């Protein structure tokens, strides 16, 4: 069988014992693999023009820098030591100024706006769990927006001090305050139809067990509003202040999928946040009814 383009390949058997048929086969294979490489290179160049390759190069460099700069204590300690550190951090002076810093960074008012505009419509739900309530930044909006319906609201946090601060701030008596660890939620399966979890997953080295716990207590068809620090330069700086890690959207999405949660909507505080990719990852994930 003659292969196209191989006619003028000359065979030079080395030594008397060289098998000319084997040599021909080898040459053909070399020729074909070289041609394939040439095709690959040219198609790769066509698919990735110079500008795109440059952008990809700088993106990789930036990612590498972020990885170098990110807070790494979370991987260096045992999970229980790290959890104790987090509890102490939020019990202490940093936790005491958390509410103020959320106001200054506009996180609390912007989140309120998002909920008021029904971009995440809380009036659809009856049973709320706010995981990592902190100073009640999300809790206060839920309580206000559902004041007519008298929905059941549970505030949950690792730090007793933070729960005390949130309760002091809340004007309503509706929320119930429960202290514990997200990795072992003290609730029955399918207890809530809405869970909010703002900037908590960054305090967990591997998000998957935590997300599985959230899925367990979330009813089929229920929604999870997830807020996370993104692995940007700003996020990296934040990771040192709050001794936490950051997430890429791909990693978080894959972890949600593994836990049985589907990303329904990616949200942004404002158009400017979307344009400049600020404010971290905000996503509504759902527990598909078919899972159960
Ligand atoms: C940055 S604050 C977030 C406050 C609020 N959710 C918000 O969106 O601004 C993080 C809170 O998560 C709590 N937290 C951290 N790790 C936790 C865990 N494993 N289980 C429950 N709560 C946790 C901390 O105590 C702290 O109050």
Distance 90 CA to ligand 1 centre (A): 8
Does any ligand 1 atom lie closer than 6 A to the CB of residue 102?
yes
All structural domains of the chain: 73-291 (3.40.50.150)
pTM above 0.85, yes or no: no
Containing 34, the helix (H) or strand (E) segment is helix 20-47
Is 73 exposed, middle or buried (CB count within 10 Å of its CB: 0-12, 13-18, 19+)? middle
Spacing, Cα 249 to ligand 1 middle (Å): 20
Residue 283 forms beta bridges with which residues? Answer: 226, 266
Q: Is 283 touching ligand 1 by the criterion CB < 6 Å? A: no
CA of 158 to the centre of ligand 1 (A): 7
The DSSP output letter for 183 is: G
Of 58, 6, 52, give the one whose Cα is nearest residue 29.
6
Per-residue pLDDT of the chain (292 residues; tens, 9 = 90+): 444 444 444 444 444 455 555 555 566 455 445 544 544 545 555 566 777 888 888 878 777 777 778 888 888 899 999 999 999 999 999 999 999 999 998 999 999 999 999 999 999 999 999 999 999 999 999 999 998 878 999 999 999 999 999 999 998 999 999 999 999 999 999 999 999 999 999 999 999 999 999 999 999 999 999 999 999 888 988 899 899 999 999 999 999 999 999 999 999 999 999 998 899 999 999 999 754 4
Size of the chain, expressed as the number of residues it contains: 292
What 3-state DSSP class applies to 276? Answer: helix
d(CA 139, CA 104): 18
């Amino acid at each position: 069988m003659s292969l196209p383009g191989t006619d003028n390949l000359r065979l030079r058997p080395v030594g008397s014992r060289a098998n000319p048929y084997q040599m021909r086969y080898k040459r053909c294979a070399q020729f074909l693999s070289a041609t394939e490489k040439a095709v690959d290179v040219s198609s790769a160049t066509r698919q990735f023009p110079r500008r795109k390759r440059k952008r990809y190069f700088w993106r990789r460099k930036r990612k590498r820098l972020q990885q170098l700069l990110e807070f790494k204590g979370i991987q260096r300690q045992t999970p229980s030591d790290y959890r104790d550190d987090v509890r102490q951090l939020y019990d202490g002076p940093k936790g005491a100024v958390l509410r103020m810093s959320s106001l200054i960074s506009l996180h609390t008012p912007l989140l309120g706006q998002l909920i008021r505009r029904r971009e995440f419509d809380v009036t659809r739900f009856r049973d709320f769990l706010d995981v990592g309530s902190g100073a009640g930044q999300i809790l206060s909006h839920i309580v206000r927006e559902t004041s007519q319906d008298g929905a059941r609201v549970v505030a949950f946090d690792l730090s007793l001090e933070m729960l005390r601060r949130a309760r002091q701030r809340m004007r309503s008596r509706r929320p119930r305050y429960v202290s514990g660890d997200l990795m072992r939620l003290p609730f029955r399966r399918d207890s809530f139809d809405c869970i909010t979890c703002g900037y908590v997953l960054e305090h967990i080295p591997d998000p998957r067990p935590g997300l599985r716990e959230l899925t367990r207590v979330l009813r089929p068809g229920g929604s999870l509003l997830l807020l996370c620090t993104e692995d940007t330069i700003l996020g990296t700086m934040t990771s040192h202040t709050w001794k936490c890690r950051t997430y890429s959207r791909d990693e978080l999405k894959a972890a949600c999928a593994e836990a049985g949660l589907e990303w329904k909507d990616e949200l942004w505080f404002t158009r400017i946040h979307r344009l400049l990719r600020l404010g971290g990852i905000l996503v509504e994930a759902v527990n598909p009814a078919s899972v159960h």
